[in-house]
Amino acid sequence: MWNVALFNLQPGQVHALVIAKSHSELHYPEAPSNEHHDATSYAAYAARTGLDIASKTYVGTHYEYTVAAALAPLGFTIKRIGGRSDHGIDLLGIWAVPSALPPNKTLRVLLQCKVSSKNTAIDPKNIRELEGAFVGAPVGWRGSAGVLGLLIAQKPATRGIRDALGRSRWPMGYVSCSADGRLEQMIWNRRAEEEGLDGMGVAAQLSEDAGRENQRLVLTWKGRPHVATLPPVDDSIKWPVEEVKPAPKKTRKPRKSKAAKELESADLKPEEGIPTLAAAPTKEDVKS
């Protein structure tokens, strides 16, 4: 059972979820680099260092950041950890879903990202590699209790991948995400349901013209659309934050009356018996 449906969202049919602080005790491995933390900062880093954007390193890392950003609206908080001795794990994090067990209401997730190419085929062996990642995962994600493994690739799952997921004793799923961050498919096996996805599903939200390019994946909870309104808060993930200084307050000058403006603009010449603007008549002058 893959829990995949297709329908149009109607106004008022959204289950909102406000996600509280969760899994702050998890300790994430150090990132491979402190020079970048998302696709934008990585592109700037490549331009600054002269990194070839056609290289496997750049394409793979950029795709990992793209996947993390694409999954964020579904309630994922993900950190890139890919590097040496990562046991094939590219991303680690948590996924907040209403089906997860309390008190955290989140699943821990580990992700492997595969970039498609002419020489790279995504097949059942990648599912077996993902199974091994459960054993070699960092503390906090090791084992299968409350942990979900996801294989991310740029093409929809083949029948072989579906069958391999169905046979696996590990809670796993498959996500198809394009190079530009468009989610096209999301499936998981029954073990994933047992570990916290029971009642969750995936649907396609269609635009008015029902065109394929204008549809996106959304989550469902007990058959109804579900949207995470806030990303999970995790103190152990700290991104570089640019300090924003408040703009200086503008001081308003007092408004001048219409008469004062007319006097300022008037071209008056001092004449005998007529006071100038710089020497207005006083009370003594008036009395005299």
Tens of pLDDT along 193-235?
999 999 999 998 876 655 556 788 999 999 998 877 554 444 4
* C-alpha–C-alpha distance, residues 4 and 13, integer Å: 18
Give the separation between CA 280 and CA 36, rounded to whole angstroms.
68
The yes-or-no verdict on residue 105 having pLDDT over 50 is: yes
Segment 17-39 shows an average pLDDT of 69
Is residue 12 over pLDDT 60?
Answer: no
pLDDT digits (tens, 9 = 90+) for 177-197: 999 999 999 999 999 999 999
Spell out the domain ranges in the chain: 4-228
Sheet with 91-96, edge to edge strand ranges: 76-80, 91-96, 106-114, 147-153, 172-177, 183-188
Residue type at 15 in one-letter notation: H
- Cis amide bond preceding 103, omega within 30: yes
pTM for this model (two decimals): 0.70
The architecture in CATH of the region 4-228 reads 3-Layer(aba) Sandwich (3.40)
> Are 228 and 17 spatial neighbours (Cβ–Cβ below 8 Å)?
yes
Residue 118, Cα to own-chain centre: how many angstroms?
29
What share of the chain has pLDDT > 70, as a percent? 65
Pull the structure tokens for residue 24.
Answer: 């702050």
What contacts 48, CB < 8 A, 6 or more positions away? none
Q: In the beta sheet, which residues pair with residue 16?
A: 227
